[in-house]
Chain A
């Protein structure tokens, strides 16, 4: 079942001003008459506001109950359309809808419902608080749903693994003319290269060493260039191999501007080997080698998680002046796909690097259904910033968070930060501010 564009409502931002209803009625009936608006805001400031609006459901009950065939879902837009010539005014549809998304317009004498204003809903720009958003993320799923998943079903990732989701989307986008490197870690650990003669991938795939991924890909790419064949040489690598022991080959390949696409799945540690610390592990985080105890940790500091801040690998890659560098998150798939497109295109000209933050339910200690929520909170608190860089355009944010949540909203979502003292939390919050200021500075410089 496909999903489609829709209008999203954030009740916390709604102040009940009614401007959306005015805009709708003006658009649809030519008069500011909120009673005839097809979007209805109910409730109160005290009890909270609620939305009554057609969801353009994937499996619409209104369509199912209509005895006259007057309602139908458009396959291309997803909009449920109403046909006046067929409607018998029985109103069964209004009973069938659980969202009050279709209702009798008494003045018109028949039902009326949202038709998404042909793709540009009038209500959304009229909302002064940002409570309404025209969400188009679903376009991605409609498009990629037809592309082949180039990983086999049944990879042995942990339950709720974000990395598996990311891998499948990435390789769908990359397509079959790809040679895929998956250095030791979670990605091959779940069976992408395979075990004893089996494989989990439908494109040529291999285990490089943890240390030489970028170098091996460079050799592959150059040999195909020599033969005049266009092949995408791509890595899906972990943060540990990329930022620690494999950093030399990564940096060397970037300096030589090898035409490869290097994607790092940053789950902030060596999760496949049992959740040990990497240089991408953030300050304060529990890992199996930065445990929480009553004794002393490094440099005599209390043993309360990692005592150093994370290495910012994507910014280091910016300083290699790569053809393309970006950060991404699976909580923002449209942004991710946009960056995949750009990275793959850039890898035809030079080194392309994409750093994707990938929450780890097992290693970060949060419930398996909370992956997207954790990923989203990381961005909403500015713990993770989403940006992209090219040598020509410099660095720019792709998703600016104007009113960031306090970092505690992110930290409290997982067990690895459970032990943090107030001092440690203050340190993390100050680093979030500092890191954001640094990236903003780079973005400003780019504009000059």
Chain B
């Protein structure tokens, strides 16, 4: 179920099509007019890059495409293009993301405003080709902005917004648009296509390498050896890292601004950081991320109908972690159940649960909470699973919290 609410009609009548998430992402990319796209296929991302290649081949998208020999080179080609002033895009997932980790880490350090879709996929081993957030979660601490989508429409809209967020001069960081493998990648739904002219006006002028460039007309050394214990080394290195953190924090406000502008122009409003659903008078809340939120909202509606005072908190922006917005939501409830689609091996809980505990600690308020892990490797998290999540979270109001996570698909 989409959270989009119609604000006002766009100037020109939008074209309405039926599209899968991967196609919607490709269409969003085309509307954002990147200069260069580099691709390497991997399940469940493949149809996305196939759509992009076809759009270019059909003359519907004016971009150079590089069929690189692996994800490592995919990201490297784009880094080169970005340093030469190009707007750049790619998509990957799972093992592909793992393989590109070396240049991936570097993209944020060089402050290259790239957009990369992660069509999320679980980690191997066990060998698996199905959805799960393990890939994106594993790289959550590498300086990329990570935004998760709930619906196919949100995939298209967020893909375009991601370029604007990344290229904002206060941000200058790469963005991952995370869309759930299987459930969003192949899930078809009604999608409104914003008119190109409107998107062009929204995007404004491209200016991606004003801060760092490889250009003979303004020669500079990019990424000299920096740091060490002598001279200006330590302070220079700190300036780079602190700048990255500043960019991440700036992104919180920019993500909100860009979503607001999107709502004004196109009439679709998505919660930019944290969505609160039926939370204001709730006693307790469940927390979700990505496409599972639709089934979760249905379960919350059903529980509400049964008179239970449950609400829902959905994160859209996972990195930077929206601490203040999340605290505002957490302050409204007395118990919390967090559902992750991936595993945090170190803490024996879901990664989003672990991060949320950090935000809660800073809030200076204790509420009982528990971690649920579900939907791994393509497993479905159904309304029935969420009924269980709601029941066990409600039990926290009276019973002691379990220390072990609940594995939702353990007995499926």
- Chain A residues within 8 Å of B, Cβ to Cβ: 176-179, 188, 193-199, 201-209, 211-212, 214-224, 226-227, 231, 233, 248-249, 251-253, 255-256
How far does the Cβ of B121 sit from chain A's closest Cβ, in whole Å?
Answer: 22
Tell me the B213-241 residues at the A interface (CB within 8 Å).
Answer: 213-216, 218-228, 231-233, 236
Task: Tell me if B219 and A196 are in contact (CB < 8 A).
Answer: no
Taking CB atoms, residues of chain A closer than 8 Å to B214 are 179, 204, 206, 220
Task: Tell me if A252 and B68 are in contact (CB < 8 A).
Answer: yes
- For the complex of A and B, 8 pairs with smallest distance between CB atoms: A219-B80, A252-B69, A194-B224, A212-B76, A199-B221, A215-B76, A223-B84, A215-B73
Task: Tell me if A204 and B36 are in contact (CB < 8 A).
Answer: no
Name which residue of chain A comes closest to B110, CB basis.
Answer: A206
Taking CB atoms, residues of chain A closer than 8 Å to B74 are 215
Task: Tell me if B225 and A219 are in contact (CB < 8 A).
Answer: no
Task: Tell me if B225 and A212 are in contact (CB < 8 A).
Answer: no
- Chain B residues within 8 Å of A, Cβ to Cβ: 35-36, 38, 64, 66-70, 72-86, 88, 102-103, 106, 213-216, 218-228, 231-233, 236
CA distance A177 to B216 in the complex (A): 5
Given the known A-B contacts A252-B68, A252-B70, are A216 and B223 also in contact in the complex, defined by CB atoms under 8 Å?
no
CA distance A255 to B67 in the complex (A): 11
Name which residue of chain B comes closest to A150, CB basis.
Answer: B219
* Among A193, A223, A251, A255, residue most surrounded by chain B Cβ atoms (within 10 Å): A223
Task: Tell me if A226 and B64 are in contact (CB < 8 A).
Answer: yes
Taking CB atoms, residues of chain A closer than 8 Å to B102 are 209, 211-212
Task: Tell me if A179 and B36 are in contact (CB < 8 A).
Answer: no
CA distance A20 to B197 in the complex (A): 82
How far does the Cβ of B119 sit from chain A's closest Cβ, in whole Å?
Answer: 22
Task: Tell me if A249 and B84 are in contact (CB < 8 A).
Answer: no
* Among A202, A214, A222, A227, residue most surrounded by chain B Cβ atoms (within 10 Å): A222
Taking CB atoms, residues of chain B closer than 8 Å to A204 are 213-216, 218-222
Taking CB atoms, residues of chain B closer than 8 Å to A206 are 83, 214, 221-223
Task: Tell me if A196 and B81 are in contact (CB < 8 A).
Answer: no
Taking CB atoms, residues of chain A closer than 8 Å to B77 are 215-216, 218-219, 222
Given the known A-B contacts A207-B223, A209-B102, A220-B80, are A196 and B66 also in contact in the complex, defined by CB atoms under 8 Å?
no
Which secondary structure characterizes the binding site on chain B?
A: mixed
How far does the Cβ of B184 sit from chain A's closest Cβ, in whole Å?
Answer: 29
Taking CB atoms, residues of chain B closer than 8 Å to A218 are 66, 77, 80
Given the known A-B contacts A204-B219, A231-B216, are A220 and B84 also in contact in the complex, defined by CB atoms under 8 Å?
yes
How far does the Cβ of A51 sit from chain B's closest Cβ, in whole Å?
Answer: 48
Task: Tell me if B69 and A248 are in contact (CB < 8 A).
Answer: yes
CA distance A209 to B257 in the complex (A): 35
9 new A-B contacts at CB < 8 Å, known A248-B70, A249-B76: A177-B216, A196-B224, A196-B227, A197-B236, A199-B220, A203-B216, A212-B72, A216-B77, A249-B69
Taking CB atoms, residues of chain B closer than 8 Å to A209 are 76, 102-103, 106
Task: Tell me if B84 and A194 are in contact (CB < 8 A).
Answer: no
Can you name 27 A-B pairs with beta carbons within 8 Å?
A176-B216, A178-B216, A179-B216, A188-B225, A193-B224, A193-B225, A199-B220, A203-B216, A205-B219, A206-B221, A206-B222, A207-B223, A207-B225, A215-B68, A216-B76, A219-B36, A219-B66, A219-B86, A220-B84, A221-B80, A222-B77, A223-B35, A223-B64, A231-B84, A249-B72, A252-B69, A256-B66
Taking CB atoms, residues of chain B closer than 8 Å to A253 are 73
Taking CB atoms, residues of chain B closer than 8 Å to A256 are 66-68
Cβ contact of B80, chosen from A195, A196, A223, cutoff 8 A: A223
Name which residue of chain A comes closest to B106, CB basis.
Answer: A209
Taking CB atoms, residues of chain A closer than 8 Å to B80 are 215-223, 233
CA distance A177 to B67 in the complex (A): 27
Task: Tell me if A226 and B233 are in contact (CB < 8 A).
Answer: no
Cβ contact of A222, chosen from B81, B213, B221, B233, cutoff 8 A: B81
CA distance A224 to B66 in the complex (A): 15
Task: Tell me if A201 and B221 are in contact (CB < 8 A).
Answer: yes
Taking CB atoms, residues of chain B closer than 8 Å to A188 are 225
Taking CB atoms, residues of chain A closer than 8 Å to B86 are 219, 223, 226
Task: Tell me if B69 and A251 are in contact (CB < 8 A).
Answer: yes
How far does the Cβ of A305 sit from chain B's closest Cβ, in whole Å?
Answer: 31
